[in-house]
Structure 1
Amino acid sequence: MPPISAELQDDIAKRLHQQHDDLLATIHGRTDGDPDEPPAIAPMAHMGQNDDAPAAEMLSHNEEHMAEHDSDQLAAVDAALSRLESGDYGTCVSCGCEIPEARLVATPTVQTCIPCQERIEREQGTGRGPSM
């Protein structure tokens, strides 16, 4: 029996496929377009004839980071879709325990249960840590 219900699995699959299509459209929007214009992520693509070079460089740098983020998100969506197809979706890739459905609904690309994610964040020093 899969760790999540068939209804939830269908809902998450639809959401992941939509997110996949949206991310591809966004990525293509940054890289495709007018053949006479450089793509938005090209160095100095935002530099006009009388523009401020540092501001144009900053915009290009931001576009590059957004493209990298979108690419990472696309890889996470593809990995989640692969886990759905293989029947491993909803199982923590670290410890093998079931991931709570509420966590999967909130973040369909999640790969770990909460205890494993907290451990990973402690080990990598990437967690939020205590609040004030």
Structure 2
Amino acid sequence: MPPISPELHEQLGQRLHKAREDALATVRARTDGDTDDRPAISPNAHMGQNDDAPAGEMLSHNEEHLAEHEANLLHEIDAAIGRLEAGAIGICESCGRDIPEARLLATPTVRTCIACQERIEKEQRTGRGPSM
């Protein structure tokens, strides 16, 4: 596969680094500040003397889910930056074919071509593709 163009390399690098900064800013906004403002993830963190137990559990579950999502997103972005720096971005990890430029521009963290992604979703019975 010929390497991606220098222009595409630059554009993807800028978008990935911006996405990483945005994701880190989201994490910081949720975790920085006064102790009372910080989200608490522990199971009983949202339980006060008069709190409803199911509501407290739901809030804790939501915080855990958001933290997991943010960690996964940062991992995807970091992996894409690594592939970009290694010259491996734009190559389908499943079949080795080129990933079209339009697909890379739409989702810079993408790891597979459309055909392989459709096959994976069919095998896993999911309709969810890569996200960023």
1:93 aligns with 2:93: yes
Aligned-partner residue type, residue 90 of structure 2: G
The gaps in structure 2 that reach 5 residues or longer are none
* Count of matched residue positions in the alignment of Structure 1 and Structure 2: 127
Within-5 A mapping of 1:62-81: 62-81=62-81
Segment of structure 1 superposing worse, 114-123 or 4-13: 4-13
Deviation at 1:125, TM superposition (A): 1.6
Return the alpha-carbon distance in structure 2 between the equivalents of residues 115 and 37 of structure 1: 45
**Contact 2:39 2:63 survives alignment (8 Å):** no
Return the alpha-carbon distance in structure 1 between the equivalents of residues 11 and 57 of structure 2: 41
- TM normalised by structure 2 equals 0.83
Aligned-partner residue type, residue 62 of structure 1: N
Q: Deviations over 1:56-115 (max 9, x none)?
A: 210110110011011111110011000000000111111111101111111110000001
The gaps in structure 1 that reach 5 residues or longer are none
- TM normalised by structure 1 equals 0.83
Aligned equivalent of 1:58: 58
Aligned equivalent of 1:114: 114
1:41 aligns with 2:41: yes
Q: Percent identity?
A: 65
Aligned-partner residue type, residue 14 of structure 1: Q
Deviation at 1:37, TM superposition (A): 7.0
Aligned equivalent of 1:127: 127
Deviation at 1:121, TM superposition (A): 1.2
Return the alpha-carbon distance in structure 1 between the equivalents of residues 102 and 80 of structure 2: 16
Aligned-partner residue type, residue 12 of structure 1: L
